[in-house]
Amino acid sequence: MHALEPGLRQGLLELDLNLDDAQIQHLLDYLDLIQKWTRVYNLTAVREPAEMLTHHLLDSLTAIAPLRRQLQSGDVTSGTARLLDVGSGAGLPGIVIAICCPAITVHCVDTVGKKAAFIQQVAASLKLPNLRGIHARVESLTEPYDVISSRAFASLVDFTSWSVGALAQQGVWMALKGKHPEQEISALPSAVEVFHVEPLRVPGLDAERCIVWMRGRRA
């Protein structure tokens, strides 16, 4: 058994997230790939496996249930949904979403070539046909995405303004943040509407987390 499997299964129980054994194995294999690549390419500042479990994996897994609810309540079914993860780095939360939600097409964009290459390597190693790494600036992407996500990427103003060209007409932004970012929200232009700020609790992590859900203001 993988040393982190009990902690991961306990975290999934606390999040009320039902994954099959193959998905759990994929998540553990993904953690192993992060550790392996970080030794050479410095993908992430977090290097302790137990810390990677809470700060990376469980932190990203808290977004799965809210994302599924949002897709169910919106104009898109998860079977046709396209998600763009911006400034994805080591693939968080994009790769976690691709593993947990195989019906969603997930593209992870990063300006750093080795990080986009890592995501492509994970897609090949774990045989995830719905996952793709893109080496580009998000401003250059114009294909429409139903959900555009980010985690600890940039201010809400920068995140939305840089990626607005890739947002589908009825699309939403999903920004994973720490504390409720009141100042960032108040700085948003009138064209961007915050329709929900969702508090999150990460198993094993005593820190504030939330998702800021946004969309283009509708007439």
Domain assignment present for residue 7? The answer is no
Domain assignment present for residue 123? The answer is yes
**In sequence order, what are the residues at sequence separation of 6 or more whose Cβ sits closer than 8 angstroms to the Cβ of residue 156?**
175, 181, 184, 185, 187, 188, 192, 212, 214
Give the count of domains, the chain: 1
Per-residue pLDDT of the chain (219 residues; tens, 9 = 90+): 899 999 999 999 999 999 999 999 999 999 999 988 887 777 776 667 778 898 889 999 999 999 999 999 877 766 789 999 999 889 999 999 999 999 999 999 999 999 999 999 999 999 999 999 999 999 999 999 999 999 988 999 999 999 999 999 999 999 999 999 999 999 999 999 999 999 999 999 999 999 999 999 876
pTM score: 0.95
Report CA Rg, the chain: 16
Domain CATH for 121: 3.40.50.150
Domain assignment present for residue 47? The answer is no
Domain assignment present for residue 39? The answer is no
Q: Which domain holds residue 123?
A: 63-216
Domain assignment present for residue 67? The answer is yes
Domain assignment present for residue 113? The answer is yes
Domain assignment present for residue 146? The answer is yes
Domain assignment present for residue 69? The answer is yes
